[in-house]
Structure 1
Amino acid sequence: MIGKGLRVLGHAIRQEPLVFTIGVAGSALFGLMTVVSAYVIGAVVGSVVLPAVDSGAVGVAALAAGAAAVFGVSVLRVFGILGRRLAAGAMQFRLQATYRRRVTRRYLRLPLAWHQKHQTGTLLSNANADVEATWYPIAPLPFAVGTLVMLVGAMTALFLTDWALALVGVAVFPAVFAVNVAYSRRMSPRATRAQQLRAEVSAIAHESFDGALIVKTMGREAAETTRFEAKARELRDGLVAMGRVRGLFDPAMDALPNLGTLAVLVVGSFRLASGAISVAELVSVAFLFTVMGFPVRAIGWVLGELPRSVVGWERVDAVLRAVGDMAYGTERLDGAGRPATLEFDQVSYSYPSAEPDEEPPTVLRDVTLRVPPGRTVALVGPTGSGKSTIATLAARLVDPDSGAVRIDGVDARELSAESLAATAALVPQTPFVFDDSVRENITLSRHLDGTGDGAAVDERVWQALRLAQADGFVAGLPEGLDTEVGERGATLSGGQRQRLTLARALAGRPRLLVLDDATSAVDPRVEAAIL
């Protein structure tokens, strides 16, 4: 687990080398000044305090020099802390933002079939909780690397001071790493389980909120609450299990430097009695072990978070490495203003099965059809006969297993993404309305007139609304096009949402319009006017 975690940290360093270098430089400055401060304190004790005790008088010049040395070292430590914390924070948040964008872009590139096999709550968890968990150790990482520099300096100073005291350090510091190895081995499976449970809790919550209307109308509030509570209790128990391990680990990490200080005082007293070291040297070494306790904890923080980081990385990496991209071509169709021709040539399609060893169900087999330009064709058939599948294939939301879908004689797979979006538009069975204004729901920030002129865009929007028989109710809204429609169009009726979705497609003036039962919630009289 530690090896995997270090590889994740190495990946982070390669992503942000400059910021990491600044953080490590600040941390190394802090660490070295921590070692220096111990010997400055020892020197002040030996050169100022002890002579003052012996003579009964304080030398002003020596006291001022000692104070200046302590102040100078403290100022440098402050600069080291600032550099370390600012760089560590910037590195962590930049990595989180970068990987949230990468995961989201990956979601957009993956085909519809991939999304249908993954719960929305899990996908949300990948982009949020898993990304955060992956880069959680980054905050203490520069501090931990700087601490290694400090340990090297401390061990060098210890051996230069006294070999016996140095052996105490040699015994204490490896013990820190041994404790961390044992901790990582015990924490890894618990962290994996907890991270999976986070995704499951998120998935249940998203499903319940998404189906709030059904839950309410069917009186399933208690059942949904119980379902969520059961999974939340599992997550709680998983986090408590992690907390128990962490509760044993933290005191051990706290105790090791303190035990080192105690050992230094015991061994140092014998060395002092034998005349091998001076009082100033004993004070320096004891103080060094005391102030090193907190920096050494940074190593524990990094190693302690590695199991969680590795689990988060594996879940994020699974999304980034997911296969099934829909590659676009470079062909462009030049037929603006003219209807397009749609052709299916021996098209077969099977939906991916939920289980790897299951045979995927075949929905379409060797379908051939041709829709001439300007023609309106209706597909009629029983539920599950493949009507919606033909609609998604026509708009190239999915690709056929065999055969070809052509628009104006060009295979849809050879068209560029921009050309395909400008040529074909699909209005699905279930309308989706964004939590935004009517205008933004229709334009989707597209420059519909090619210039972005506000008045021209609004005129294009009203034209689309009139075609969709939606101009009447939009004109009656409190703020017209600027009216906020709420999450998923909560302030609109089902028929109004469908007409708004249809207007969105019409606003782009597609040459091929595919309607997948897009007027099912519309009044028959209005539906006749639309068609």
Structure 2
Amino acid sequence: MVKKLMQSIREQKRNSILAMVTISGEVVFEVIIPMLMANLIDFGIDAGSMSYILKMGVALLFAALGQLLCGVISGKFAAEASSGFARNLRHDMFYKVQTYSFSNIDKFSTASIVTRLTTDVTNLQNTYQMIIRMAVRSPFLALFSLIAAISIDAKLSLIFVAVIPILVGGLYLIMSKTHPIFERVFRTYDKLNGVVQENLHGIRVVKAFVREEHEEKKFTSISERIYQDFRKAEQQLAWNAPLMQLCMYACVLLLSWFGARTIVACGGDAVLGLSTGELLSLISYATQILMSLMGLSMIFVMLTMSRASGERVVEILDETPDITAPENAVTEVKDGSIEFDHVQFSYHAGTGKPVLSDIDLKIPAGATVGVIGGTGSSKSSLVQLIPRLYDVQQGAVRVGGIDVRKYDLDTLRGAVAMVLQKNVLFSGTIKENLRWGDEHATDEELVRACRLAQADDFIQTFPEGYDTYIEQGGTNVSGGQKQRLCIARALLKKPKILILDDSTSAVDTRTDALIRGAFRKEIPDTTKIIIAQRIASVQDADMILVLDDGRITACGKHDELVQTSPIYREVYESQTKGDDDNAPTS
């Protein structure tokens, strides 16, 4: 895990090293100061030498300024290094997510990915900053202070050695108990983010059904679980500070007791034993050693908290995309012909009932194909195999006569334009949204695509026309307008295959007919697959597929299916019966 995370340091190695070097300088000055104080007391104050006092005073001033300067510079480098590390980590995670197939994304919830990109990365950023400062400062300070203390009085310095096992044992117990709690907390954070995201996305439905109280209870329940877990973890971590202080004050008391006895026994003669200045230096070094150990304990606490975050981040980075382009991939799609060769597919390979079974089908280039079927008949699953959003488990899907698994992914998906069931528009102008289809499209090409999709008329009614700003998710346009904009965006790709997955459900039948008429006239060479609930949307198609329970139960033209397919006939009669009932009587 650590090795994987360190790959995101990259250009921040220099700042990280400089932070550690300058913090080492701060430690050196901090260790020197008690020595200077001891000399000031023993050879200046006790000896009554004013010149020596001034000399040591200047030395102390420069030492303090050196410590301050090194600390400030180290803080600057550490802040830049940790911020850059977090930026690289977010970059690596986001780019990795872009390579995921739908099956990889299904493995992680959207809320979980967002939490890992935000909360978990922030935890790692704070921990990294503490590591390059405190993880260098504390061990160096403890080591140098211990060496200095031993040089003054080796026997009294054994007090420090006796205290260290107590600290290490206490820290181990605290960490072993808190890590599982933090793992549980971050999983609960995922659920909390999911509830918030779902609530905000569906706020209109919440208000329409007056379910605010229900949503508040859901949020409160999950928030309470996070509070309880954090409270339990903080109760465990709270033992850290008292344990540190107990050891520190015990060392100071023991040093004062034994040191004072030594001074009294030797009459304060440094040659025979211990001087007053040296005792004060020992007490200063005791404080430094124990404060550095306290700093190390805080690092261990941060590591305990961030370990769970690190594991979750590495899960994203280590995830292997299920769908990748092969070596020597095909980089050109010859035409829009499609072939399903005895295809079997399930979302979780090897488990449960297949979603699609024995799909055997040939669609010539330029054909218009309608797909009809009830809810759950796997219509969307069928078309998602064409641009290789998922891979088949058995059989093959061919586009332009070549297995889709042999294509370069960008090439294949560039030749297939999909307008999904859930139409998505991004915050930005209408022009910016349309140019997702072709970022280099001219204004004339934008207008032409919108006319084909019957979107130009309503766009012209907006005060700012094609420069009208679309709110996030397209909340300031109607469902039918959103669908037509998404169709225009797909047309701008100039695809060889155009897939409309129930993408005209929110437009009226007249507009639907105009869109299909424009397709026949303007893009005759493009293979068009139209999934629809309305028979009227597909009855003029060259071929109509009837899906039921993941199988093609019938295939043919409208008139033929009315006679031969019970499912198609039932849907047709249920839709036309209403029209007959409303027809005028003579």
Counterpart pick for 2:79 among 68, 79, 89: 89
- AA aligned to 1:472 is D
Supply the distance in 2 between the matched residues of 1:8 and 1:378 (Cα, whole angstroms): 48
Q: Give 1:400 deviation, angstroms.
A: 1.0
| 8 A Cα contact 2:437 2:489, kept in partner | no
Match of 1:287 in 2: 284
Supply the distance in 1 between the matched residues of 2:464 and 2:254 (Cα, whole angstroms): 77
- AA aligned to 2:219 is F
Match of 2:296 in 1: 299
Supply the distance in 2 between the matched residues of 1:510 and 1:84 (Cα, whole angstroms): 56
- Could you say what secondary structure the match of 2:189 adopts? helix
Q: Rate the CA distance shift 1:323–1:7 in 2: closer, same or farther, 3 A.
A: closer
Q: Rate the CA distance shift 1:376–1:241 in 2: closer, same or farther, 3 A.
A: same
Q: Rate the CA distance shift 1:100–1:403 in 2: closer, same or farther, 3 A.
A: same
Match of 1:72 in 2: 62
Q: CA RMSD in A?
A: 2.3
Match of 2:489 in 1: 504
Supply the distance in 2 between the matched residues of 1:217 and 1:243 (Cα, whole angstroms): 41
Match of 1:473 in 2: 458
Counterpart pick for 1:421 among 413, 419, 426: 413
Counterpart pick for 1:379 among 361, 371, 380: 371
The sequence identity of aligned pairs, in percent, is 25
Supply the distance in 1 between the matched residues of 2:181 and 2:39 (Cα, whole angstroms): 48
Q: Rate the CA distance shift 1:173–1:80 in 2: closer, same or farther, 3 A.
A: farther
Q: Give 1:79 deviation, angstroms.
A: 2.9
Q: Rate the CA distance shift 1:530–1:189 in 2: closer, same or farther, 3 A.
A: same
Supply the distance in 1 between the matched residues of 2:145 and 2:460 (Cα, whole angstroms): 76
Supply the distance in 1 between the matched residues of 2:437 and 2:403 (Cα, whole angstroms): 29
1:485 aligns with 2:470: yes
User: TM-score, normalization: structure 2?
Assistant: 0.82
Structure 1 residues 280-339: Cα deviation after superposition (integer angstroms, max 9, x where no partner): 21121112233455443321111011222111122222222224431114211165xxx5
Match of 1:24 in 2: 20
Match of 1:332 in 2: 331
Q: Rate the CA distance shift 1:254–1:510 in 2: closer, same or farther, 3 A.
A: farther
- Could you say what secondary structure the match of 2:370 adopts? coil
Q: Give 1:422 deviation, angstroms.
A: 2.1
User: TM-score, normalization: structure 1?
Assistant: 0.90
Match of 2:250 in 1: 259
| 8 A Cα contact 1:25 1:146, kept in partner | no
Counterpart pick for 1:309 among 306, 319, 330: 306
Q: Rate the CA distance shift 1:118–1:529 in 2: closer, same or farther, 3 A.
A: same
Supply the distance in 2 between the matched residues of 1:286 and 1:445 (Cα, whole angstroms): 72
Match of 1:51 in 2: 47
Q: Give 1:71 deviation, angstroms.
A: 1.6
- AA aligned to 1:510 is P
- AA aligned to 2:16 is F
| 8 A Cα contact 1:426 1:505, kept in partner | yes
Structure 1 residues 112-148: Cα deviation after superposition (integer angstroms, max 9, x where no partner): 1232343221221122222223443212212222321
Match of 2:219 in 1: 228
Residues 90-129 of structure 1: matches in 2 within 5 Å?
90-129=80-119
- Could you say what secondary structure the match of 1:328 adopts? coil
Supply the distance in 1 between the matched residues of 2:506 and 2:467 (Cα, whole angstroms): 24
- AA aligned to 1:493 is S
Supply the distance in 1 between the matched residues of 2:79 and 2:169 (Cα, whole angstroms): 28
Match of 2:344 in 1: 348
Supply the distance in 2 between the matched residues of 1:23 and 1:260 (Cα, whole angstroms): 31
Q: Rate the CA distance shift 1:13–1:425 in 2: closer, same or farther, 3 A.
A: closer
Q: Rate the CA distance shift 1:138–1:64 in 2: closer, same or farther, 3 A.
A: same
- AA aligned to 2:416 is A
| 8 A Cα contact 1:8 1:313, kept in partner | no
| 8 A Cα contact 1:110 1:325, kept in partner | yes
1:524 aligns with 2:516: no
Higher gyration radius (CA): 2
Q: Give 1:445 deviation, angstroms.
A: 8.6
Q: Give 1:11 deviation, angstroms.
A: 7.2
Q: Rate the CA distance shift 1:503–1:9 in 2: closer, same or farther, 3 A.
A: closer
Match of 1:453 in 2: none
| 8 A Cα contact 2:5 2:314, kept in partner | no
Supply the distance in 1 between the matched residues of 2:159 and 2:224 (Cα, whole angstroms): 46
Q: Rate the CA distance shift 1:283–1:78 in 2: closer, same or farther, 3 A.
A: same
| 8 A Cα contact 1:140 1:302, kept in partner | yes
Supply the distance in 1 between the matched residues of 2:241 and 2:446 (Cα, whole angstroms): 62
Greater shift in the superposed pair: 432-441 or 17-26 = 17-26
Structure 1 stretches lacking a partner, 5+ long: 53-57, 450-456
Structure 1 residues 6-48: Cα deviation after superposition (integer angstroms, max 9, x where no partner): 8788778899543332222122211221111111111112222
Supply the distance in 2 between the matched residues of 1:9 and 1:503 (Cα, whole angstroms): 42
- Could you say what secondary structure the match of 1:347 adopts? strand
Counterpart pick for 1:171 among 162, 169, 176: 162
Match of 2:401 in 1: 409
- Could you say what secondary structure the match of 2:238 adopts? helix
Supply the distance in 1 between the matched residues of 2:383 and 2:47 (Cα, whole angstroms): 93
Greater shift in the superposed pair: 364-373 or 483-492 = 364-373
Match of 2:122 in 1: 132
Structure 1 residues 78-127: Cα deviation after superposition (integer angstroms, max 9, x where no partner): 23212432232233222222222222222222221232343221221122
| 8 A Cα contact 2:339 2:399, kept in partner | yes
- Could you say what secondary structure the match of 2:372 adopts? coil
Supply the distance in 2 between the matched residues of 1:228 and 1:77 (Cα, whole angstroms): 49
- AA aligned to 1:418 is D
Greater shift in the superposed pair: 249-258 or 497-506 = 249-258
Supply the distance in 1 between the matched residues of 2:88 and 2:10 (Cα, whole angstroms): 13
- Could you say what secondary structure the match of 1:514 adopts? strand
Match of 2:387 in 1: 395
Q: Rate the CA distance shift 1:304–1:232 in 2: closer, same or farther, 3 A.
A: same
Q: Give 1:521 deviation, angstroms.
A: 0.5
| 8 A Cα contact 2:9 2:84, kept in partner | no
| 8 A Cα contact 1:134 1:308, kept in partner | no
| 8 A Cα contact 1:427 1:514, kept in partner | yes
| 8 A Cα contact 1:134 1:312, kept in partner | yes
